[in-house]
């Protein structure tokens, strides 16, 4: 594993690269909100063992992507897309220019593609548990508990700490204050982040034409399948395939996060994620379910 720190625009981006000899695919794993990249490292190493190069990273202010104390980091999620994702894609593209560049977005990592400069650098899109996040259209658990986050935890804890202390509160994870407030606004808006984008930013989602394989998870504790479908509608010109994963296929619970745990190596990784990453083309643009 190769570790490095990209520094630009008074920001720092921690990258971990898992090389593979003669790799024909290079996967960039874009994390879920508040999730540190090391959560994906065992999956990344497994992909590298299959001959696929992988790049993992932390958004600025998350995990190892810090060049100052978290309460001094001023960034939001839009800047994660326009700055951080731009730089990680540029770096990844330079490592093996002939390899197919595959975007693997988990949750938030699949929502930001239309905001990335030059998204045509990406050859294939795979998303896992990635959908719109309006809280009243999410899972029953989110409807029951998220008001504590929006109306108590964020407004009370963030000013005191200077950032959102999610680790101590067992909510989301530690987050830069401005990013957390922005995400809170999105989740309280009927069309999620799309209610807060300019016309130019919305057009970015129209530009993507790549094959796009989305995975929904039947026992996801945060999102329902309608959330995943709503996000797919925001990428209208991509070649789309939707696959629904169930605990029966996995032999155990999956949930919003567990798919990246090694317990799914011989089931979901081998049977679903690997074929989605390595496929030459989708058979047709219709949305399908398995």
Segment 262-288, tens digit of pLDDT = 999 999 999 999 999 998 544 333 345
User: Considering the chain, what percentage of its residues have pLDDT values greater than 90?
Assistant: 84
pLDDT at 22: 87
Q: Judge whether 188 lies within some domain.
A: no
DSSP 268: I
Q: Judge whether 148 lies within some domain.
A: no
Q: Judge whether 247 lies within some domain.
A: yes
Average pLDDT over residues 146-174: 91
Estimate to the nearest angstrom the gap between the alpha carbon of 38 and the chain centroid. 14
Structure tokens at 226: 């309608």
Q: Judge whether 31 lies within some domain.
A: yes
- Torsion angle defined by CA atoms of residues 132, 111, 62 and 100, in that order, rounded to the nearest 10 degrees: 150
Distance (Å, rounded) from C-alpha 101 to C-alpha 117?
Answer: 15
Which CATH number is 213's domain given? 3.40.50.1820
Q: Judge whether 65 lies within some domain.
A: yes
Asked if residue 144 has pLDDT above 90, the reply is no
pLDDT at 32: 97
Three-class secondary structure of residue 148 per DSSP:
helix
Asked if residue 234 has pLDDT above 70, the reply is yes
Beta bridge partners of 165: 174
pLDDT at 135: 85
Considering only residues 288 and 148, tell me which one the structure prediction assigns the higher pLDDT. Answer: 148
Asked whether the beta carbons of 122 and 210 are under 8 A apart, the reply is yes
Task: Provide the mean pLDDT of the chain.
Answer: 93
Instruction: Kindly give the pairing relationship between strand 100-106 and strand 124-128.
Output: parallel
Query: Residue 39: which domain range?
Result: 2-133+197-278
- The pLDDT tens digits for 239-263 are 999 999 999 999 999 999 999 999 9
Q: In what helix (H) or strand (E) does residue 228 lie, and over which residues does it extend?
A: helix 225-232
Average pLDDT over residues 174-190: 95
Asked if residue 230 has pLDDT above 90, the reply is yes
Three-class secondary structure of residue 115 per DSSP:
helix
- The pLDDT tens digits for 157-170 are 999 999 999 999 88
pLDDT at 286: 39
- The pLDDT tens digits for 192-227 are 999 999 999 999 999 999 999 999 999 999 999 999
Beta bridge partners of 245: 217
Considering only residues 133 and 57, tell me which one the structure prediction assigns the higher pLDDT. Answer: 57
Look-up: residue for tokens 């993992």?
56
User: What are the helix (H) ranges across 100-187?
Assistant: 140-148, 154-161, 166-169, 177-187
User: Considering the chain, what percentage of its residues have pLDDT values greater than 70?
Assistant: 96
pLDDT at 280: 53
DSSP 2: E
Asked if residue 69 has pLDDT above 80, the reply is yes
Structure tokens at 155: 């407004």
Phi (first) and psi of residue 120, to 5 degrees: -65, -10
Asked if residue 107 has pLDDT above 80, the reply is yes
Task: Please give the tally of structural domains in the chain.
Answer: 1
Considering only residues 99 and 282, tell me which one the structure prediction assigns the higher pLDDT. Answer: 99
Asked whether the beta carbons of 133 and 187 are under 8 A apart, the reply is yes
Q: Judge whether 102 lies within some domain.
A: yes
Structure tokens at 10: 């008074």
Q: Judge whether 122 lies within some domain.
A: yes
pLDDT at 61: 97
Q: Judge whether 217 lies within some domain.
A: yes
Structure tokens at 141: 């658990």
């Amino acid at each position: 594993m190769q570790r490095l720190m990209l520094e630009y625009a008074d920001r720092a981006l921690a990258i971990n690269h898992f090389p593979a000899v003669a790799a024909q695919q290079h996967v960039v794993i874009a994390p879920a909100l508040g999730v540190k990249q090391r959560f994906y490292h065992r999956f990344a190493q497994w992909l590298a063992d299959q001959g696929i190069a992988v790049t993992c990273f932390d958004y600025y202010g998350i995990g190892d992507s810090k060049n100052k104390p978290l309460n001094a980091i001023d960034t939001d999620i839009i800047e994660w897309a326009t700055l951080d994702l731009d730089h990680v894609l540029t770096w990844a593209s330079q490592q093996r220019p002939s390899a197919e560049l595959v975007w693997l977005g988990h949750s938030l990592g699949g929502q930001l593609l239309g905001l990335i400069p030059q998204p045509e650098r990406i050859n294939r899109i795979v998303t896992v548990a990635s959908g719109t996040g309006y809280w009243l259209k999410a899972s029953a658990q989110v409807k029951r508990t998220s008001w504590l986050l929006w109306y108590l935890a964020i407004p009370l804890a963030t000013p005191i700490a200077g950032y959102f202390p999610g680790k101590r509160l067992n909510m989301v994870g530690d987050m830069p204050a401005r990013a957390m407030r922005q995400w809170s606004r999105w989740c309280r808006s009927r069309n999620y982040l799309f209610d807060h984008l300019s016309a130019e930013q919305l057009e970015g989602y129209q530009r993507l034409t790549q094959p796009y394989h989305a995975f929904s998870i039947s026992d996801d504790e945060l999102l329902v399948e309608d959330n995943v479908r709503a996000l797919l509608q925001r990428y209208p010109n991509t070649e789309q395939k939707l696959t629904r994963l169930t605990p029966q296929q996995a032999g155990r619970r999956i949930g919003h996060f567990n798919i990246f745990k090694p317990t799914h190596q011989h089931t979901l990784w081998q049977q679903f994620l690997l074929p989605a990453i390595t496929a030459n083309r989708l058979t047709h643009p219709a949305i399908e379910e398995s």
